[in-house]
Amino acid sequence: MSEWPSNWLPVKGSDVFSFVTSGSRGWAQHYASSGAAFIRVGNLDHDTISLDLSEVQRVQPPAGAEGERTRLRPDDVLVSITAEVGMVGLVPNSLGEAYINQHIALARPLPGLEPRFLAWYLASEADGKRSLLASSRGGTKSGLGLDDIRQVKLPLAPVAEQQRIADKLDAVVTLVDACLDRLARVAPLLKRFRQSVLADAVAGKLTDDWRIASASREWATTSLDAVAEVGTGSTPLRSNPAFFAASGTPWITSGATSLPVVSTASEFVTDAAIAAHRLKVYPPGTLLVAMYGEGKTRGQVTELGIAATINQACAAVRVDESQASRVFVKLALMANYLDMRDLAEGGAQPNLNLGKIKSLCLPLPALPEQVEIVRRVDLLFAFADRLEARLAKAQAAADRLTPALLAKAFRGELVPQDSADEPAAELLKRLTADRPAPAAKVRLPRAA
């Protein structure tokens, strides 16, 4: 926890919040297509105190005490108390009528305080959030209790300084968010760059100048099985304990095709499985094409870096290197990823088959040009890899900026202090004097 300036006072949540409460269960019966906003844990975020209102559930709230108790006001501080504990949000003026469920606590700042200061403090990883998470209970009663928020230790700075800190944080964090947004746009650009390189490579555009200079012949077109042996594998009976072991011959499934090279295995088959199912052990350098699989798996291409068997969801492609470069064929298959997916047939889970893989159309320049294409693609991909590494470093540095700013803010180092500010001790006296007295409990008469 940061060391607070000497003119700040340590206080508890109950000293600065007029009350702390949470929503209740049973709001699902009030869901509607229109009406008041219903703020849930998904509308909070770990990196900001702004609410994410891109998707908001709507409700027609119940009349009476329950609706009034959980109705939000501008500048209410929200804290997630179950699931992803410790996310903090601040209710904006623009939200309108809104309510919360049982997974969120509402902490209402006393009048005369800067709500942004309190919210940012609770969101600070090195300060308020750490204190809240330390209070999070484990076991069967996980999460935060309302008393944890009432008892959490907070700093009380002069109000004018609270406002200066909040204004500075708002301004600088907005710049940091804009920087992160711009950086996030780079990764899709790099992906499109690689796709464009592959498309140009197999269309001959990447080596137009080389072909003219070398007076190379025109490209031919062939099928994949004309330059490669194409096979597949199978899945040994899992009910037979003699077929799978902790070690043995690697057995690869279509899930591994997301890797550029398969160098390890998570499952191994025995010699008995290989014999019983006539599994072929493919050598390193064999290309694998996923013929089916969930999500983006179908059509992915990888290469064996180890000798291995495969299951029936993969096609194994052993290129005849006297006719074609193995790396060139791999690039061509990668470039045809979307086309291969379009060839798949079936219902909810469309699949490729071995016949379609064998008949894939393959552009075939002369071997020297294939080698030149591979060389140029490697250079361009290496350039993209360097940019990606620099992007990752920039994103990591930018991700550290907001936590560093918050830590600096709550050490009193982000904005200058002013001796003319009302001292925090006087502010606390005024808050205590102005706090409304708790409502007296009304004792109802007993029924006769």
- Which amino acid is residue 6, in one-letter code? S
Summarize pLDDT for 347-378 with one digit per residue, the tens.
Answer: 555 678 899 999 999 999 999 999 999 999 99
Half-sphere exposure of 40 (CA within 13 A, CB side): 13
28 DSSP 8-state letter: G
Among the residue ranges 14-18, 289-293, 408-412, the one predicted with the least confidence is: 289-293
Same fold? 9-155, 220-361: yes
Q: What is the pLDDT of residues 383-394, one digit of tens each?
A: 999 999 999 999
Percent of the chain past pLDDT 90, that is, above it, reads 76
- Residues near 262 by Cβ (< 8 Å), separated by ≥ 6? 252, 256, 288, 302, 303, 304, 305, 306, 308
Which amino acid, residue 317? V
Residue 346 banded pLDDT, cuts 50, 70, 90: low
Q: Which two tokens stand for residue 316?
A: 């194994």
| 448/446 Cα distance (integer angstroms) | 6
446 pLDDT band (50/70/90 cuts)? low
- Provide the sign of the torsion angle of the four alpha carbons 155, 160, 163, 165, taken in this order: negative
Is the domain defined by 220-361 classed in CATH 3.30.1330.10?
Answer: no
Residues 313-343: tens digit of each pLDDT: 999 999 999 999 999 999 999 998 878 877 7
Report the mean per-residue pLDDT for the chain: 90
- Which residue(s) pair with 21 in the sheet? 106
> What crossing angle do the helices spanning 159-184 and 367-409 adopt, rounded to 10°?
180
**Residue 401: other Cβ atoms inside 10 A:** 16
List the single range of 176-185, 294-303, 425-434, 437-446 with lowest mean pLDDT.
Answer: 437-446
Tell me the pLDDT tens digit for each residue of 77-125: 999 998 889 999 999 999 999 999 899 999 999 999 999 999 999 999 8
Please report the pLDDT score of residue 445 as a whole number: 53
Mean pLDDT of 407-416: 93
Average pLDDT over residues 216-244: 93
pLDDT digits (tens, 9 = 90+) for 38-79: 999 999 998 899 999 999 999 998 877 667 888 999 999 999
CB 247 within 8 A of CB 229: no
Report pTM: 0.76
* Tens of pLDDT, residues 167-222: 999 999 999 999 999 999 999 999 999 999 999 999 999 999 999 888 877 899 99
* DSSP summary character for residue 62: P
Report, as an integer, the average pLDDT of 132-148.
75
367-409 helix and 326-335 helix, angle to the nearest 10 degrees:
60
CA distances from 208 to 135, 202, 303, 331, 368 (A): 66, 11, 28, 18, 14
- Is residue 444 over pLDDT 50? no
Name the pLDDT band for 434 (thresholds 50, 70, 90): confident
**Per-residue model confidence (pLDDT) at position 1:** 57
Task: Report the alpha-carbon distance of residue 178 to residue 176 in Å, rounded.
Answer: 5
Q: Which two tokens stand for residue 271?
A: 């010699």
Task: Assign domain 159-217+365-417 to a CATH class.
Answer: mainly alpha
What the block records as the tokens of 409 is: 């803010």
The answer to whether residues 250 and 265 touch, using CB atoms and an 8 Å cutoff, is yes
Half-sphere exposure of 131 (CA within 13 A, CB side): 20
Q: How confident is the model at residue 433 (pLDDT cuts 50, 70, 90)?
A: confident
Beta strands per DSSP E along 355-442:
361-364
**Is it the case that residue 447 has pLDDT exceeding 60?**
no
Say which CATH superfamily domain 9-155 falls into.
Answer: DNA methylase specificity domains (3.90.220.20)
Tokens 């509402």, residue?
106
Kindly give the pairing relationship between strand 244-245 and strand 220-223: unpaired
Give the pLDDT mean for 296-319: 95
Structural tokens at position 80:
């997630």
d(CA 296, CA 290): 10
Specify the pLDDT at position 28.
85
Query: Which pLDDT value is given to residue 6?
Result: 86
Domain assignments of the chain as residue spans, ordered by start: 9-155, 159-217+365-417, 220-361
* Nearest residue to 107 via CA among 94, 118, 92, 95: 118
Q: Could you give the 3-state DSSP secondary structure of residue 293?
A: coil
